[in-house]
Amino acid sequence: MKIYRSVSMAGFNAIIALAIGICFLLACKSSGSGNSSSSGDRGGTGWKVWVKTSPCSGGRTDWISVAKVNPTEGGGGSYFQTADRLGSGIACSKNSDTNCTFAQATDAANSIRGSSQFTNYCCRDYAVWKYTQTGEMTIVKGQGTAGFGWQFEKGNLCCEEAEDFAGKPGACSGGPALGSSNVAGVPRRNSGNGNNNPAYNGETAQTPYSTPYSTPYSTPYSTPYSTPPPTIGRWTLVSVTAIPDPPSQGYSYNAQSTSAQYDLNGNYAVRFQWTRPPASFDENGFAVSMNIQCLAQGGCAALMGVRSDYLDSDTPGREQKAEANGKPGISASGQKTVSFKPTLSTPNEIEVEIGLMWGGARFLYKYRKV
């Protein structure tokens, strides 16, 4: 069997982009421009605050937006919902809020951009590595390594979480995007908005290879090999989180569910079922089976997917999904089973995510290596 590397968020984002196209064919109203805050016309009322639910957000700016019309309807592959999903009491965040000016909506957006809920929507593609000789921490984006002499400490982190863990504020949020071979040193950002400001205040990133060779041959080869290479072990389930909690309108589920319902005013009904990821797994891995059944008066299109960063799969990322498409008044179903296995490079902490209906609901199963 040919093994494909799971592509972090990229494969899953492609699924979402395809699904949004289906959504437009069914029920989404097309209105041309999204009237975002970047447009020239900022007058009148009807401005609202929107939160991007998929794909993941690299920074807090693209996470929260201000627009008159749902930015999803402008295309581009991203899915937005009104910001009242983050909590009640947020001004200009409900569909019924029709009297907000651009300035009022912008103030409301700025008030929630710093929310800790950002960790539920950020791209968890950062890892922290430590240099074994000095204890120096560094941050790497993607599935690469920090290089010779560095050992993995913690992965599956948001940029901000990686900075806090490594003790390097601004290392990724204040600099350019970090590739698997680009290791963050100690750059500082000019502003505290955490929005990928490219300015470094004159500082440059440190290369991880300067330290090992700064004192050539002073330390024999025993040091790099004092820490044995990682081995495949066992990961144990430590928590399950449902997002959002409580569910959005039309959804029925809880964090311990292995099924969920989506019923829109009795006219659009979808039932999702899946096998719960195991309490623990080892080098033999595990499989997740998904099943969808849908029925709607005007036809239905339903989607659910599963992904897990840093695990290998026998299914390419674009195909890690089940979907059902039914004609008006006729039920439809879809099934898919996806297998995952850890590798020598699988970090100590990982998540398995099951997503429903283009970001409408997510279930995060967090594992820790024992």
**89 shares its domain with 196:** no
Asked if 352 and 308 touch (Cβ cutoff 8 Å), the reply is yes
Q: Which of these three, 88, 120, 152, is where a domain ends?
A: 120
pLDDT tens series, the chain, 370 aa: 333 444 444 454 444 444 444 444 444 333 333 344 444 578 899 999 999 888 888 888 888 999 998 888 665 678 889 989 888 889 998 988 889 999 999 999 998 888 888 888 998 888 998 998 898 999 888 777 888 888 888 988 888 888 889 888 877 876 433 333 333 333 333 333 333 333 323 333 333 433 333 333 333 443 444 455 556 889 999 999 999 999 998 899 998 999 999 998 777 899 999 999 999 999 999 999 999 999 888 888 899 999 998 899 989 988 999 999 989 889 999 999 999 999 888 999 999 999 998 888 999 999 999 8
**199 shares its domain with 239:** no
Q: Identify how many contiguous H helices and E strands the chain contains and give both numbers.
A: 4, 20
**How confident is the model at residue 191, as a pLDDT?**
31
**266 shares its domain with 217:** no
Residue 365 located in a structural domain: yes
Amino acid at 163: E
User: Residues near 135 by Cβ (< 8 Å), separated by ≥ 6?
Assistant: none
**98 shares its domain with 129:** no
Residue keyed to tokens 């494909």: 4
DSSP 296-322: ETT-EEEEEEEEETT-EESS-GGG-EE
Distance (Å, whole) CA 330 – CA 295 = 6
Angle at 101 between CA 95 and CA 102, to 5 degrees: 100
Q: Return the exposure string of 13-32: e unless at least 16 CB atoms fall within 10 Å of the residue's CB, then b.
A: bbbbbbbbeebeeeeeeeee
Distance (Å, whole) CA 124 – CA 171 = 15
Residue 96 located in a structural domain: yes
CA atoms in the 13 A half-sphere facing the CB of 339: 10
Asked if 291 and 335 touch (Cβ cutoff 8 Å), the reply is yes
Closest CA to 352 of 298, 277, 292, 285: 277
**67 shares its domain with 134:** no
Residue 212 located in a structural domain: yes
Its sign, for the CA torsion 57, 320, 19, 260, is: negative
Residue 27 located in a structural domain: no
Residue 14: domain span: 4-20+233-369
**How confident is the model at residue 231, as a pLDDT?**
64
**178 shares its domain with 80:** no
**38 shares its domain with 103:** yes
**192 shares its domain with 316:** no
Residue 207 located in a structural domain: yes
Residue 25 located in a structural domain: no
**263 shares its domain with 362:** yes
DSSP 50-91: EEEEES-BSSHHHHEEEESS-GGGG-SS-EEEEGGGG-TT-T
Distance (Å, whole) CA 64 – CA 145 = 32
Residue 26 located in a structural domain: no
Distance (Å, whole) CA 217 – CA 11 = 44
Q: Which of these three, 228, 243, 269, is where a domain ends?
A: 228
**pTM given for the model:** 0.42
**How confident is the model at residue 74, as a pLDDT?**
62
**15 shares its domain with 67:** no
Residue 70 located in a structural domain: yes
Asked if 91 and 112 touch (Cβ cutoff 8 Å), the reply is no
Distance (Å, whole) CA 34 – CA 23 = 16
Closest CA to 285 of 311, 306, 307: 311
Q: Which of these three, 77, 97, 120, is where a domain ends?
A: 120
**139 shares its domain with 257:** no
Distance (Å, whole) CA 80 – CA 326 = 25
**184 shares its domain with 311:** no
Omega before 246 within 30 of 0, i.e. cis: yes
Distance (Å, whole) CA 213 – CA 350 = 33
As for how many domains the chain has, the answer is: 3
Residue keyed to tokens 């599935």: 143
